[in-house]
Structure 1
Amino acid sequence: MGIMDFVKNGVQELMIARPDDKKNLLVYKHPDPTIPHFSQLTVDADESAVFFRDGSLVGTLRTAGAGQRHTLSAQNIPFLSNLVDNFTGGNIFTTDLFFVTMRPIYNVPFGDALGMMEDPALGEMVTPRVFGRMAFQVEDPEKLILRYLGIRATTEAEQADWVKRTLIASVKTVVGTYGDQNGVSLLQMMGMTQQLKEEFVKGAPELNDIGIKILEIADFNLNLNEEEYARLQEAQAEIGAAKRAARVANIGIA
């Protein structure tokens, strides 16, 4: 039975919920953009239901309580009045409905090259790599969907890859900023995993921009290939030699 059959037959209830086999998705989009008035919406305690129309945010619902459902009526939920389709006599809401997982997601592996970047202290161009595991949680489901609309990752693997790629961009930003602010090189940061993990938890800009917060980073490893590692060691040795020479000249030792 289709949506128009519900309207024609005067049926006022339709059960809407995320299917059990989609519970593992970070974002699940309800497949039908037309929802009858008085439909019963189930929002689990660990998710949000985010309503969009024409690419714009309309409103968000959290759980109605254990074993409870939301009755989708503009009288009960005022923002739904912005979704009324007048061409159906006002009996239908037209919306893109997204279910967003809000519970913490643990033990997500990541690893990739950060791309070419300048060592903050030594000035050499290198391509560091990072590996580890992360735990994260959606803090802002509306912001997440606004960014999600641009990528449309529909499978669990695609969504995980999106988050991981965004994390890698955040790691590059945090590593560069930390090095600049503290005057330390990548060689030094390779031994500062605890400090860097704390910086990621404190704020990972690109992830924050899509509404996600890092809860924990584990087994973090920042490294370089052998050639780049040797090049940074050489640059560090040259800077050390120059500093020693400057100190000698400053105290007038021939």
Structure 2
Amino acid sequence: MAWFAREFISVPDDRKDQVVFKWPDRAIRHLSRVVVDADETALFVRSGAVIATLGPGRHRIDAEALPGLGAVVDTLTGGNYYRAELYFVASREFTGIPFGGRLTDITDPVSHQVVSLRAYGEFALTVRDAARLIVSLVGTADLADARRIREWSAALLLKSLKVAVARGIAGGEWSVLGVSAQLPVIETAVVADANRMLFDYGLRIARLGDLDITLVPEDSHRLKQLAKDRTYIDLVGDFQRYAAGELALGAGAGMAAGSPGADARLATGLGFAALQQFSPAPPPWHETTPVPVQHDQVCGACGAHAAPHARFCAECGAGLGARVCAQCGAGVAARARFCAACGHPTNEDAPTG
């Protein structure tokens, strides 16, 4: 039964989602059949070197058909077994692999605040060169662990993302609050940088998906509050008046939170009273100095009107100011009974000087 159990070697159905599957037995029976699916490559490895490669199909394990296997014949078994590691490497694209975590602490060039960024997303991974992948990772990574290659690729991708984001923000190209608008540019740069690191390992990141770069919640609240403060200060003109307004609103809201009904209105009133203490009072309207009204002169000879400072009448040439109203000082016509400027009786007119 053991012979039949090992006659066919293939990737179990429950391991088809692995990038690399390592056959658990290093002793491979002569004339066994290796079944390689259409999206797989099988590799025999000995001492860190690939000695034979099998493409899709059914293959009989025979040193004559696979000359490289002749070097790993187990002589102790009479040539019935080969001593080698057998790996199956999937060539299809693996999508929806999650990655993410904390990026870095960085100074926002706009607000000059030190904040922490984090990123989350998914990526698609594919094998570019199966032999290079196996040779590069044998001895350095546990390829029997199904999660190892995905987690290792995700770590490299996150490292590339840290470098790209830190470079863009520190260089003044992006602001922290506006970094989400740069996601297409970031994705292109990160994929290119990560693939340069993965090239020597025979891996390639095809694309990113659902990438999101955010601030930690406390930093996000702090920057939004700072942006609001700056906008309000620009509106009111100075920090003192803005601080007074914040004091008023804070006092009103705080007191109203614990005092419903009339107490809430009282708290709001107290808050605005605090605002008025810091606000400059407008000038009182009733303290303005009235501007004296200068009336036209009236010629005492002909009754014509003349400018306030004229010395002679422009109509008849007579000297002005023959009669002056005792009430308002305007010139009065010779035969007038009342002042034309204020209506005061002319019998009390002051004589001209």
* Fold in common (TM above 0.5): yes
2:224 is the alignment partner of 1:219: no
Deviation, structure 1 residue 152: 1.4
Shift of 1:168: 1.5
SS, match of residue 193 in structure 1 = helix
Specify the code of the residue in structure 2 equivalent to 1:18.
V
Q: Offset at 1:53?
A: 1.3
Match of 1:200 among 182, 190, 194: 190
Q: State the alpha-carbon separation in 2 of the partners of residues 126 and 209 from structure 1.
A: 35
Structure with higher Rg: it is: 2
- Structure 2 counterpart of 1:24: 17
Are residue 163 (structure 1) and residue 165 (structure 2) matched? no
Change (3 A) 1:80 1:117: farther
**Other structure's SS at 2:160 match:** helix
- Which segments of 5 or more consecutive residues in structure 2 lack a partner in the other structure? 227-353
Shift of 1:119: 6.4
Q: Indicate whether 1:37 and 2:26 are aligned.
A: no
Q: Deviations over 1:175-229 (max 9, x none)?
A: 456678x763463644211112122333414433432211121221122335666
Offset of residue 46 of structure 1: 0.9
Please say if 1:61 is aligned against 2:54.
Answer: yes
Unaligned runs of 5+ in 1: 235-254
Letter in 2 for 1:219: D
Percent sequence identity is: 30
Give the Cα–Cα distance (whole angstroms) in 2 for the partners of residues 124 and 178 of structure 1.
16
- After TM superposition, the structure 1 = structure 2 runs for residues 1-254 of structure 1, keeping only pairs within 5 Å, are 1-2=1-2, 14-63=7-56, 68-114=57-103, 116=104, 127-145=116-134, 146-147=136-137, 149-152=139-142, 154-176=144-166, 184-185=173-174, 187=176, 189-204=179-194, 205-225=196-216
Distance 2:117 2:199 in 1: 23
Across the aligned residues of Structure 1 and Structure 2, the Cα RMSD in angstroms comes to 3.5
> The residue matched to 1:202 in structure 2 has which SS?
helix
Contact 2:73 2:79 (8 Å CA) reproduced:
yes
What SS is found at the alignment partner of 1:42?
strand
* Equivalent-residue separation in structure 1 for 2:168 and 2:129 (angstroms): 26
Quote the offset at 1:69 in angstroms.
Answer: 0.7
* Residue 37 of structure 1, CA deviation: 2.2
Distance 2:203 2:108 in 1: 27
For 1:213, what is the secondary structure of its paired residue? strand
Q: Secondary structure at the match of 2:99?
A: strand
Classify the secondary structure of the residue corresponding to 1:128. Answer: strand
With the length of structure 1 as denominator, give the TM-score of the two structures. 0.70
Please report how far the alpha carbon of residue 18 of structure 1 lies from its aligned counterpart in structure 2 after TM superposition: 1.0
Bigger mean CA deviation after superposition, 120-129 or 73-82: 120-129
SS at structure 1 position matched to 2:25: coil
Check conservation: 1:34, 1:94, Cα contact below 8 A.
yes
Question: Are the equivalent residues in 2 in contact too, given 1:113–1:129 (CA < 8 A)?
Answer: yes
Q: Which has the higher contact order (CA 8 A, sep 6+)?
A: 1
Q: Quote the residue 2:281 is aligned against.
A: none
- SS of alignment partner, residue 162 of structure 1: helix
Aligned partner of 2:162: which letter?
A: K
**Secondary structure of residue in 2 paired with 1:191:** helix
- Give the number of aligned pairs: 220
